[in-house]
Structure 1
Amino acid sequence: PVMVAKSGDRLLRADAVTSLRESLITKASLITPNLPEAADLLGVTEAIDRESMLHQTKALLG
């Protein structure tokens, strides 16, 4: 599901993001979050540099 619009508006409530994180993401073979979505899934601020992006990618991979 799309979690964040191009405008930056959040499209899912916090409880829905929690459900995604705990249920769907753990069963998925592939996820394609953009930067704001990755941050929401991890419960952190959006990555602003390459190092932060790599850290968040590794965190999403488990």
Structure 2
Amino acid sequence: MALAELVAAIPAQYFWIAGKGRIKPSEPLYAIRILDAETDAVVAQAEADTLEDAIAHALKSLPLEAA
């Protein structure tokens, strides 16, 4: 799935933060956190070697009522 489609799939009640970088060479390059807009609670997060994979993994771990 394309990056724009993945971002569009994040439910509107959430906001997200993505980052690129490593502290150790063995870590994935990208990370994302999806947060509840009302409470700032993290509802899903994931790391992966591509931003697309990180978003896809985070979307899969969203609470069922949000998906």
TM-score by length of 2: 0.29
Structure with higher strand content? 2
Which is richer in helix?
1
| Structure with the greater alpha carbon radius of gyration | 2
TM-score between both structures, scaled by the size of structure 1? 0.30
